[in-house]
Amino acid sequence: MIRVFGLLALASFLASCADNPLEVTISRCPAVAVVGDTGTLTRFNGSGRTDEDVVFTASISDIAISCEEGDAVTSAIGFYVSAHSDGRMVNETISLPYFVAVLKDNSEVVTKRVYDVTLDFDGNGYAVSREVLNQLIPTIDQARRYNYELLIGFQLTVDDVAYNMER
């Protein structure tokens, strides 16, 4: 009787393990991220670089990707570009450049495109825009052969990069 109960318990345990929790599913959808210090852009009044000279600071945030795998891999990347000002940019409009680069195998730049985002500051000095871009990897064979990444950031000058690294 104990033996039968033990066998039933073992069979029940093995049946519950039919779904392997260690099973790996490989997705051919690209990874997406903001490149290092390129996710923030600060503009200054004049040549000063102090807090009092800041006109506005913009940021890229809340990146999300949706992806469909079929004969090709199609991705829709969504993110927000937002900016705030201490009151110098009230009811004004600006345009900022940002880039999207496609990397293959973590090192080879396949494409890089620069886009412009328009930000309309409200009466409180805040602005936000939702950006959505589509990216296509033409064939599933190509997607299987390489690892792809989508990298996003502001198109910065050397001075912008230096400021972001010093912060």
CATH code for the domain in which residue 105 is found: 2.60.40
In a domain, 9, yes or no: no
Any domain includes 36 = yes
User: Who has greater pLDDT, 103 or 2?
Assistant: 103
Whether 111 shows a pLDDT value over 90: the answer reads no
Residue 129's domain comprises 21-166
Domain contains 114:
yes
Q: Work out how many domains the chain is built from and give that number.
A: 1
In this predicted structure, the answer to whether residue 129 has a pLDDT above a threshold of 50 is yes
Residue 67 predicted with pLDDT over 70: yes
Question: What average pLDDT does range 69-98 have in this prediction?
Answer: 91
Assess if residue 12 is contained within a domain.
no
Question: Please, which pLDDT band fits residue 135 given cuts at 50, 70 and 90?
Answer: confident
Residue 10 falls inside a structural domain: no
pTM beyond 0.85: the answer is: no
In a domain, 11, yes or no: no
Residue 119: the pLDDT is 97
DSSP states of 44-69: ESTT--SGGGEEEEEEEEEEEEEEEE
Tens digits of residue pLDDT in 23-48: 666 667 888 999 988 999 999 988 88
State the pLDDT confidence band at 12, using cuts at 50, 70 and 90.
low
Residue 76 lies in a domain: yes
pLDDT at 95 exceeding the cut of 70? yes
Residue 2 located in a structural domain = no
